Amino acid sequence: MKICITGGAGMIGSALLRKLSNKGYEIIVIDNLWRGKVENINTIENWDFNNNFHNIDLSDTNNEEKLLKILESTDVLIHLADIVAGIGYVFNNQYEIFKINNTINTNIFSICSKLNIKKILYAGTACSFPKNLQLSLTSILKESQLFPAEPESAYGWSKLIGTMELQYMAEKYKLNVSTLMLHNVYGPYCDTDPKRSQVIPSIIRKIIELEPNGQLDVWGSGNQGRAFLHVDDVANAFQLALEKDDIPQIIQIGPNHCTSIKHLVNVLINDVIKKPINVHFDTTKPEGDLGRCADYTIANESLGWSPQLDLKEGLFDTYNWIKSKIN
Ligand SMILES: NC(=O)c1ccc[n+]([C@@H]2O[C@H](COP(=O)([O-])OP(=O)(O)OC[C@H]3O[C@@H](n4cnc5c(N)ncnc54)[C@H](O)[C@@H]3O)[C@@H](O)[C@H]2O)c1
């Protein structure tokens, strides 16, 4: 079976590539390295980087001919390539993110409609849920609550529109498609760039770089929470979705509990990194949704999926990777 992973040089894509390349799948990766990195994937065992990596911008419509050729005999497309970043980047670049993600999705889905692709799996996001359902750490969301839609950000809207476009295309061309709606993913091979990184890598990096007893500035009150999900759990969900038939078109992937940023910072400072640090919560900065987590019943019933990695274990793993990278 031939699989194409778009965005395969990124955090989730490279974890999935590592997992699937050991299972004997033939895999190609398309990524323009906007946030992905060659070093995330060029030494993966049982995978030939030189012949199977394509540095192509999926938001450029001029690449259609090239992409039709590359994707010619692909059986399954796992579509992860979109602009995703930390909250500061997302709220400061709303129009660009909306435009680029919609262009990427329209391009790649249109190309798929011209080919004999058997299955498409798309990475959706919990940011697409209505903002008025994300008001507390105990908001447990179900797929049926996606509509009426009112995501908080252009990023959430773009991913929801991608999900809808995929479904309309699948209906017309009789394709098998599913969107896995992911909560907050973290883990090794994450982006640590201070401008674009998400909350866990951003805080870990800041703590590593601070002197003992230095001040850590954290955006928002710290009372806001996220349902953190280790990247290996996400790779596992995509593998299950790849290998199972007749799965629902929307499946939420995330834990059924939410961790406040205050608690996250405490665990990082006291249990994982173990460095004396003073914390300042900067309430002049945006904090995004107040809280949400997943009712993952559909994932469990259709894929047999549940989260396996506990947060502390996942944070150790992520910290060790970031530390080795910075060193
Ligand atoms: N990280 C999370 O918390 C999270 C949560 C929900 C959903 N998702 C979704 O999962 C997918 C993967 O996210 P990730 O966390 O691995 O992020 P990532 O940024 O590491 O991966 C996305 C990849 O897409 C590539 N890309 C971006 N624009 C492109 C373009 N125009 N052409 C080709 N490639 C392009 C990037 O270079 C990157 O390698 C994204 O679709 C994202 O929206 C992520």
Q: Does residue 162 have its Cβ closer than 6 Å to ligand 1?
A: no
Residue 287 confidence (pLDDT) above 90: no
Q: What is the pLDDT of residue 286?
A: 83
Residue, of 310 and 287, whose pLDDT is higher: 310
Residue 327 confidence (pLDDT) above 80: no
Q: What is the pLDDT of residue 100?
A: 98
Backbone torsions φ then ψ of 282, nearest 5 degrees = -95, 100
| CA geometry: angle 159, 128, 223, nearest 5 deg | 130
Ligand 1 centroid, distance to 150 Cα (angstroms):
22
Reported as half-sphere exposure (CB side, CA atoms, 13 A), residue 150 has a value of 7
Q: For 178-208, write each residue's pLDDT tens digit.
A: 999 999 999 999 999 988 999 999 999 999 9
Q: One-letter amino acid identity for 115? A: L
| Cα gap 296→224, rounded to integer Å | 21
Q: Does residue 180 have its Cβ closer than 6 Å to ligand 1?
A: no
Q: Does residue 123 have its Cβ closer than 6 Å to ligand 1?
A: yes
Strands 2-6 and 76-79: what pairing?
A: parallel
Residue 262 confidence (pLDDT) above 80: yes
- The answer to whether 154 touches 97, Cβ cutoff 8 Å, is yes
pLDDT band for 66, please (50, 70, 90 cuts): very high
Reported as half-sphere exposure (CB side, CA atoms, 13 A), residue 43 has a value of 2
> Closest Cα partner for 242 from 185, 180, 194, 314?
180
Helix or strand or coil: residue 274? coil
Tokens, residue 316: 């150790």
Residue 124 confidence (pLDDT) above 90: yes
Residue 288 confidence (pLDDT) above 90: no
- Which residues lie below 8 Å from residue 1, measured CB to CB, with a gap of 6+? 25, 26, 75, 76
Mean pLDDT of 96-106: 98
Where along the chain do its domains lie? 2-187+227-257+292-309
Mean pLDDT of 82-95: 94
Reported as half-sphere exposure (CB side, CA atoms, 13 A), residue 23 has a value of 15
Q: What is the pLDDT of residue 81?
A: 98
pLDDT band for 221, please (50, 70, 90 cuts): very high
pLDDT band for 144, please (50, 70, 90 cuts): very high
Residue 326 confidence (pLDDT) above 90: no
Backbone torsions φ then ψ of 125, nearest 5 degrees = -140, 150
Ligand 1 centroid, distance to 315 Cα (angstroms):
20
Q: What is the pLDDT of residue 289?
A: 81
- The answer to whether 315 touches 267, Cβ cutoff 8 Å, is yes
Mean pLDDT taken over the chain: 96
Is the domain 2-187+227-257+292-309 a CATH 3.40.50.720 member? Answer: yes
> Closest Cα partner for 267 from 212, 319, 220, 231?
319
Query: 151 to each of 97, 142, 160, 238, 306, how far by Cα in Å?
Result: 14, 15, 8, 24, 25
Ligand 1 centroid, distance to 278 Cα (angstroms):
33
Ligand 1 centroid, distance to 312 Cα (angstroms):
24
220: which strand partners?
none
Residue 35 confidence (pLDDT) above 80: yes
Nearest CA to ligand 1 atom 1: 185
| Cα gap 74→142, rounded to integer Å | 32
Mean pLDDT of 56-82: 97
Q: What is the pLDDT of residue 294?
A: 97
Q: Does residue 9 have its Cβ closer than 6 Å to ligand 1?
A: yes
- Which residues lie below 8 Å from residue 18, measured CB to CB, with a gap of 6+? 44, 235
Mean pLDDT of 90-110: 97
pTM confidence score: 0.97
| Cα gap 113→165, rounded to integer Å | 12
Ligand 1 centroid, distance to 238 Cα (angstroms):
14
